[in-house]
Each structure stands twice: as C-alpha cells, then as structure tokens.
Amino acid sequence: MKKVAIYARKSVEVKDSISIETQVNMCRNYFADEECEFEEFKDDGYSGGNTNRPAFKLLHKKIELNMIDTLICYKLDRLSRRVVDIADFFDLLDKKDIAFICVKDKYDTSTPMGRAMMYFASVFAQLERETIAERVRDSMLQLAKKGCWTGGPAPRGYELVKHGGKTYLKLIDRELILNLYNWYLELGSLYQVDMRAKGKYNMLKGRDTVRRFLRSPLYVQSSSEINDYLMKNGWKVFGNTNGCGYLTYGVSVKEPIAIVSKHEAVITPLLWLKVQEKLDEVRESIFKRKSKVYWLSGVLRCPYCKKPYVIVNSARNHYYACRSRVNRFHEHNKKCKNNKYVNSIKIESVIEKYILSFRDKVDFEHIYKSNSDNIYNSGIEALNKKIKKNSKMIDNLVSKVALLSNSGAEILLKKIDELSKENKQLEDKVRNEQLNVLEIESKKFDKSFIYENILNFSKTDNPEDKRNYVKNIFKYIDYDPINEKIVCKFL
C-alpha cells in the first residue's frame, strides 16, 4: 500500500490560518479514491520561518530512511516560508524519488508542471543565497575600505572612536602590540608569552588568545608580501596596499577575508612574517607528532578513568599512558590507579590482532550484536497513555460545560485549556522521542560500513590509514594493562 505522509502546520501568530485538522482532512480527501496508509505529521504553533519543528524533523528523518512514498500538504508555505528551505527539501524529495502534492496550490510533482515548479523554486533559492552573500560582502568591503569598524569590541591596543555616525579604530597602545610580537620571537612559546603578558598587562587569557592575536593581519602594515602570504594561506584579500592594517571577516567560518583598511598598524611586514613562520613551524611539528605513528591515540581509552591514552616519549621508546595519570593539570587532582606505561609497539600489535579477528563475518556479526546497545527505552508508550488520559478528561469536561452556568463553565473551560496545552507539549515530546528512536535505527545501517572498515584496516600498513579506519570502527577501545583486558565499543 502507498505510504502517504501528511504534513500540517499552524503558526501561533496568524489568527485566521486554517486549522490543523482541516488541513489534514483536505489532504486525506485528495486520496479519497485510493487506498493509502496515512501518517500525520502535525506542528501546532510553530512558525514557518525556520525548519526547527518536531514533526517536520521527524518527517525529514523518515524521508531520509525511505519510509515514505508520497508527501502531501495543504499549501506549500506549510512546509516553510523560506524559499531556501523549500528548495533544500525538494532536493531531498527528488533524491529519494518521493512524489509531492500540494492540495491548494494544485501542485503535484508527478506531473511535468509540478516538476517545473520544483526546478524554478531551487533556481530562485540559489539566486537568493548568492545575492544575499554578495550584498553583505559588498557593503562590508565598502565600509572596511573607508576604515570603518563594523562591529564587536575594539581589538587589543585600539579603541573605538565615533565620527560622523561611523566607528573607526584608533591606536592607543603601540607598546603592548610590539611587545607581544617581539616576546614570541624571543621566547618561542605561546604559553610563556601569555604568562608574561598576564604579569605585565593583566589582560590576555590563554594560548589561543595569544595565537589569534599574533595571527591577526589587523596589526600588520599592508604590503604585497603580506598579501601573498595571506592568499597562500586561503585568505581572500581586497583593496590596495597602503601601509595601514587589514580588517578581517569570516575567520571563524573558515572563509577568511582581509581588507586593506585605514587604521594605523604597528607591526612591520618583516616582523609579522617572521612570527607567522615560527607559528607555522610549531603547527607542522605538532601535526607530524600527532599523526605519524600512533594510530591508536584518540581511540584507546583507560578503563579506570575513561580518559584517553596519550603518548609519552622516552629517549628510546614511545609509550601509551593514561592521560589523567600523566597530566599535571588534570581535573580532580587525583591520579588514576592505572600507572602502566605500555610500549606503543606492543599495544599496537595486540590491538591489531584483536581487530583482525573480526575479519570473519560471522564472528563480527556476533560481537557487533552483543556490543551495540540498541535497547532504547523511549517512554513513548507512557507519553501516549498520558495524552489519551488527558483527552478523555477533556471530553468529559466538554460534556459538562453545556450543563453549567456561565461562571461554572468558565472554570471548566480554563481547565480544558490547560489540559489541551499540556497535551500539545506531550505530543511534541512524543515526536522528539520518535526522532530519537529513528536516529538509533538509522545507525544500524552502519554495520556494513564498520565491517568494510575492518576489511580495509586488514589490508593496509599505513599508520595514517589505520588510524582513519579505526576511527570508523570504534567509539572507543578500553585497554586494561593491569589485567591485560580489551573491551571495545563499536560506533
């Protein structure tokens, strides 16, 4: 039988919008001549301005899992009021080959006209995305080129001054900026720069803050060398170099833009580049140390304190040791009882043998079944019971209202209203729980993916690859060096 999903939404703000039940009935009537299995997805009191709605999310998940053949709703704007959201949703429907019908808008993607509409919607959405991005970028560029500060607190060493309705940066602490850059070259450690800055200025907090400060093009006098460095490192650079500093955008979203601005910059290109070089060196060596040999780091866990193992180097050997045993700064100031330092070669070969034993598919299936916790007590049944009970009470109260005087009825109506509200909340809870259950269900599809990774693991000698495969197999591996025990948990 055809599985038809009915989506209905009513928002709080629009008083005259058509009721959820009417929407559902109109959808059901559309299929009056066909025998279908209906499932209703109802968002009562949710705005169409975003897709953060429990029933909609549940519907989305069910579509992803191919649990629906056809989707129907009363009007297109019930799905979303944003063209962008609708287009994304259409993409999904298209990919999953799901027919979509809109009762009021006479819209049916099983017809050519409906498909054309679908296409136009996605074209317009793309256009909207691009023009918004362009508009934002253009106005930002114009402001930045004029030297205007477009938001946020003043960067260290500067203050904000207002002039003609616009905000500009004014240099107030040349010494602080110069010191931090020079100290880093002198000390070669972000940690020590941070300590010294704390002592002298009582301001910067943490190595990351110091790093961001040293990395920022805001402090360097713009030049063609700096432009080159920035572009090589993925920045988009705008404006003609003039010796003033750059304003930056989009650093946090990894689409960094630097615009030559008009504020006075302290650091010469030579000094700034030297500092970048040093920072790059450190980054590279950390990267090498982390990823080169130790394919178990990040997955191997101490069974006593559940903290990961870390690599400890001695002159000749490398060891895995419990982090809360080794770490000087760990949380509770209590050392883990796991005091073993396990030779990295030994433990890696032990775990490797362990993983290779899963190559036998029957063995794997067996251990996977006993290992993954699919038992999820959702409590949906209890929630549904409560909803039913409330509905009964509402019905009872409604039948009594007619028999009462005005003042008596008012009390009952209030009670009815409360119960209805509670039921609405409970229904939302049920949707969320259903979503959780589906989330867990969909994880089961990963079994073959895990097995595939086990096979791939057995075929490679490259530690880098091994590490990636292991990450696709296990959530963690608990290794107890005291009792020589391994317990693993699949993803």
For tokens 């043998």, the residue is 353
Q: Are 486 and 350 in contact (CB under 8 A)?
A: yes
Q: What is the DSSP letter of 267?
A: B
Give the residue with the Cβ less far from Zn ion, 118 or 326: 326
The least distance separating Zn ion from the CB of residue 302, rounded to whole angstroms, comes to: 3
User: According to the binding rule CB under 5 A, does residue 73 interact with Zn ion?
Assistant: no
Provide CB contacts within 8 A for 93, sequence distance 6+. Answer: 63, 71, 100, 109
* DSSP three-state, residue 162: strand
Q: Ramachandran region of residue 313, left (φ > 0), alpha (ψ -120 to 50) or beta?
A: beta
Give the residue with the Cβ less far from Zn ion, 239 or 303: 303
The least distance separating Zn ion from the CB of residue 21, rounded to whole angstroms, comes to: 57
Residue 197, classified by CB atoms within 10 Å of its CB into exposed (0-12), middle (13-18) or buried (19+), is buried
Give the residue with the Cβ less far from Zn ion, 73 or 300: 300
**Contacts for 168-173 with beta carbons within 8 Å, 24 or more apart?**
168/262, 168/263, 169/245, 169/261, 169/263, 170/263, 171/263, 171/264, 171/266
User: According to the binding rule CB under 5 A, does residue 305 interact with Zn ion?
Assistant: yes
User: According to the binding rule CB under 5 A, does residue 476 interact with Zn ion?
Assistant: no
Give the residue with the Cβ less far from Zn ion, 274 or 323: 323
The least distance separating Zn ion from the CB of residue 300, rounded to whole angstroms, comes to: 11
Give the residue with the Cβ less far from Zn ion, 11 or 338: 338
Q: Are 281 and 188 in contact (CB under 8 A)?
A: no
Q: Are 48 and 78 in contact (CB under 8 A)?
A: yes
Query: Of the candidates 230, 270, 228, which has an alpha carbon nearest to the alpha carbon of residue 247?
Result: 230
User: According to the binding rule CB under 5 A, does residue 302 interact with Zn ion?
Assistant: yes
The least distance separating Zn ion from the CB of residue 324, rounded to whole angstroms, comes to: 5
Give the residue with the Cβ less far from Zn ion, 124 or 476: 476
User: According to the binding rule CB under 5 A, does residue 310 interact with Zn ion?
Assistant: no
Of the listed pieces 38-46, 93-101, 304-312, 448-456, which binds Zn ion according to CB under 5 A?
Answer: 304-312
Pattern 260-299, Zn ion, x by CB under 5 A: ----------------------------------------
The correct pick among 38, 201, 304, 368 for binding Zn ion (CB under 5 A) is 304
Give the residue with the Cβ less far from Zn ion, 103 or 310: 310
Q: What is the DSSP letter of 19?
A: P
Give the residue with the Cβ less far from Zn ion, 79 or 336: 336
User: According to the binding rule CB under 5 A, does residue 342 interact with Zn ion?
Assistant: no
Of the listed pieces 231-239, 251-259, 329-337, 478-486, which binds Zn ion according to CB under 5 A?
Answer: 329-337
Of the listed pieces 23-31, 162-170, 257-265, 338-346, which binds Zn ion according to CB under 5 A?
Answer: 338-346
User: According to the binding rule CB under 5 A, does residue 338 interact with Zn ion?
Assistant: yes
How many residues contact Zn ion, by CB under 5 A?
Answer: 6
The angle, 0 to 180 degrees and rounded to 10, between the axes of the packed helices 83-95 and 54-64 is 30
Task: Tell me the residue length of the chain.
Answer: 491
Of the listed pieces 114-122, 314-322, 388-396, 472-480, which binds Zn ion according to CB under 5 A?
Answer: 314-322
CA atoms within 13 A on the CB side of 207: 6
Of the listed pieces 239-247, 320-328, 411-419, 457-465, which binds Zn ion according to CB under 5 A?
Answer: 320-328
The least distance separating Zn ion from the CB of residue 330, rounded to whole angstroms, comes to: 10
The whole-angstrom separation of Cα 38 and Cα 41 is 10
Give the residue with the Cβ less far from Zn ion, 101 or 305: 305
The correct pick among 322, 347, 355, 473 for binding Zn ion (CB under 5 A) is 322
The least distance separating Zn ion from the CB of residue 338, rounded to whole angstroms, comes to: 4
Rounded to 5°, angle at Cα 199 from 195 and 205: 50
The whole-angstrom separation of Cα 413 and Cα 406 is 10
Of the listed pieces 17-25, 198-206, 293-301, 315-323, which binds Zn ion according to CB under 5 A?
Answer: 315-323
The whole-angstrom separation of Cα 313 and Cα 304 is 22
The whole-angstrom separation of Cα 472 and Cα 44 is 39
Give the residue with the Cβ less far from Zn ion, 306 or 414: 306
User: According to the binding rule CB under 5 A, does residue 300 interact with Zn ion?
Assistant: no
The least distance separating Zn ion from the CB of residue 303, rounded to whole angstroms, comes to: 8
Question: Regarding beta strands 36-44 and 246-249, do their DSSP bridges make them parallel or antiparallel, or are they unpaired?
Answer: unpaired
Q: Are 258 and 235 in contact (CB under 8 A)?
A: yes
Of the listed pieces 7-15, 275-283, 334-342, 352-360, which binds Zn ion according to CB under 5 A?
Answer: 334-342
Give the residue with the Cβ less far from Zn ion, 337 or 359: 337
Query: Of the candidates 265, 272, 242, 258, which has an alpha carbon nearest to the alpha carbon of residue 144?
Result: 258
User: According to the binding rule CB under 5 A, does residue 336 interact with Zn ion?
Assistant: yes
Give the residue with the Cβ less far from Zn ion, 30 or 320: 320
Q: Provide the binding-site residues for Zn ion, judged by CB under 5 A.
A: 302, 304-305, 322, 336, 338
